[in-house]
Amino acid sequence: MTTLLKSATIIDSSSPFHKQTKDILIIDGVISEINDTISEKDEYTIVSLDNLHVSTGWFDTSVSLGEPGYEERENIANGLDVAAKSGFTQIAINANTHPVVDNKSAVEFLINKAIHKPVSVFPIGALTQKSQGVEMAELYDMQQSGAIAFGDYKKPVENDNLLKIALLYAQNFDGLVLSFPKNNKIAGEGIANEGLNSTRLGLKGIPSLAEEIQVARDLFLLEYTGGKLHIPTISTEKSVQLIREAKSKGLHVTCSVAVHNLVITDDALHGFDANNNVNPPLRTEQDVIALVEGIKDGTIDIITSDHNPIDIEHKKVEFSISKSGTVGMESAFGALQTKLDLETIIKCLSDNPKTIFGLETSSIHINQKADLTLFNPEGEFKFSQEDILSTSKNSIFIGHNLKGKAYGIYAKNQLLLNT
């Protein structure tokens, strides 16, 4: 297969062609030529799109696809199609399934489902058996089968000693441990950020303290044990400060933030739309400002869509009894462009997550494997239900003004476009 990308602006700070508009010729999955103009031939697949930009492929580190067990929310085949059309060449799948991905067979099942797809799948194995927080799962066996990290999705490790042992044990095979930042005893039955809006609306609050006290505990344990810790989807100003201080001390800690926590505040709760029920909850404008600053100064390493399809039976209900979660891959790029510059977005969607999760990094060079995201950073539009590609339609961004769209991807010698 030979593909010619016409007049593509390259966004790749490690490439000699960074910010240059070039034609890119790809033969059998490898970049064979980059030049001002490359002649077209009949056998070429020509890609000529308005204001075409390309970067190294994006990697989403927190994706839930339902299968196995919750196929009514999203199956793997459709989820991978959504990922590709949203610009992601690689995704990490959470152990948010039934049964939980807590053994090597479950890991291999997910990987084999994507073997012929352009999007690569990297399972995150459960840290504990059945994600129940009692006994540690088979971490080493799962890693040998392809798991890239270990964490119980949206479930904090409540047993301090268990997290300590996991951090110590994982060092034997350079494993990455994830710890969701939430103290359930403090959060209680809360469903919204504890503050002015939750009080006005009569919603049970989750104080910022519930996240921050867990982050502080995790950092103390990491300082004691060593190893590698990743804290997914932080949401508060104090969490940013704690992680910034830990990094300054040399601790091997990384963290991510969900797109919606970067863009939307708890002011959106007025109206009681259950699509705004997410975990961690939407926070204040002050928190959002701190999160954006954390990305800019390198405290926050990764941005994730935190894609979590929820079926209509659990979303089209009262806010207080709805299930938390939002689909997010389709809207991720357009939403981020309302807050951050393009190069920062690419860094947090591509270079940083691949490095932290131990994936092979790439660059747009001649004779390099083509793993590319195709997109247009211009053009504003209002995101609607028709823009949702997922089986479930629970998007927090419905009705929001976004900027720019992903065209699709070229990866594993396959071209898949959302056109």
Peptide bond into 309 cis (omega under 30): no
Q: Which residue shows structure tokens 């919606």? A: 260
Contact criterion met (CB below 8 Å) for 158 and 133: yes
114 neighbors 146 (Cβ within 8 angstroms): no
Identify which of 340, 239, 226, 229 has the alpha carbon closest to the alpha carbon of residue 299. 239
Q: What phi and psi, each to the nearest 5 degrees, are found at residue 171?
A: -65, -20
- 8 A C-beta contact, residue 149 and residue 174: no
Which structure tokens are listed for 31?
């970049």
Using CA atoms, how far residue 45 sits from 55, 248, 277, 332, in Å, is 19, 49, 43, 28
- Please state the three-class secondary structure of 132-169 as a single string: CCCCECCHHHHHHHCCCEECCCCCCCCCHHHHHHHHHH
| Element (DSSP H or E) covering residue 369 | none
Angle ∠(274,279,285) on CA atoms, nearest 5:
85
- Catalytic, out of 266, 306, 311, 351: 306
Query: How far apart (Å, rounded) are the C-alpha atoms in residues 74 and 142?
Result: 24
Catalytic annotation present for 306: yes
Q: What is the DSSP letter of 354?
A: H
Q: Tokens standing for 71?
A: 């196929």
Distance separating alpha carbons of residues 315 and 264, to the nearest angstrom? 19
- Residues tagged active-site: 306
